[in-house]
């Protein structure tokens, strides 16, 4: 899984280089609190679908999430399928359930913020990066 995630990072690094998109695990201090609130919101509703767990289905679903200034998700883009519709659908279900995660950091003057997150499903652990 780590190798697969690293491949995704290389594949989407152009988006990051353009400046208005970050990876969830960025070390950018400016967005630390915003990203922490987002992660907490996700972990409150995200689950490993029972059907996938029973069948031993695992994978990574990379998505690009666009937030408005109020911290509301206004667009979700599937960057690549995990290979299992049930896992991909769970990511969309989760992101549609969470409410606003709070405003952008002071000093960030753009109207939108984009985030690339990797939803990882595995038999021993499930985590967001």
As given in the structure block, the two tokens for residue 97 are 């359930």
The whole-model pTM stands at 0.87
- Name the average pLDDT for the chain: 88
Which residue range forms the structural domain that includes residue 30? 2-128
Task: Give 124 or 27, the one with higher predicted confidence.
Answer: 27
CATH code for the domain of 83: 3.30.1150.10
Q: Is the pLDDT of residue 9 over 80?
A: no
Beta bridge partners of 117: 63
Task: Give 97 or 54, the one with higher predicted confidence.
Answer: 97
Beta bridge partners of 67: 73, 113
Q: Which of 27, 31, 101 is nearest to 71 (CA)?
A: 101
User: How many domains, the chain?
Assistant: 1
Q: pLDDT at position 27, please?
A: 77
Q: Please, are residues 129 and 120 in contact by the beta-carbon 8 Å criterion?
A: yes
Q: Is the pLDDT of residue 1 over 80?
A: no
């Amino acid at each position: 899984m780590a190798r697969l995630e690293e491949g995704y990072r290389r594949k989407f690094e152009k988006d990051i280089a353009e400046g208005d998109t970050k990876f969830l695990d960025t070390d950018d201090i400016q967005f630390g609190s915003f990203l922490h609130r987002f992660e907490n919101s996700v972990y409150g509703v995200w689950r490993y679908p029972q059907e996938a767990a029973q069948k031993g289905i695992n994978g990574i679903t990379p998505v690009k999430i666009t937030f408005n200034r109020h911290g509301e998700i206004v667009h979700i883009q599937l960057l690549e399928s995990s290979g299992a519709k049930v896992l991909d659908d769970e990511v969309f279900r989760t992101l549609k359930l969470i409410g606003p995660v709070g405003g952008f950091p002071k000093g960030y003057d753009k109207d939108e913020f984009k985030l690339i997150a990797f939803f990882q499903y595995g038999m021993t652990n499930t985590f967001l990066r």
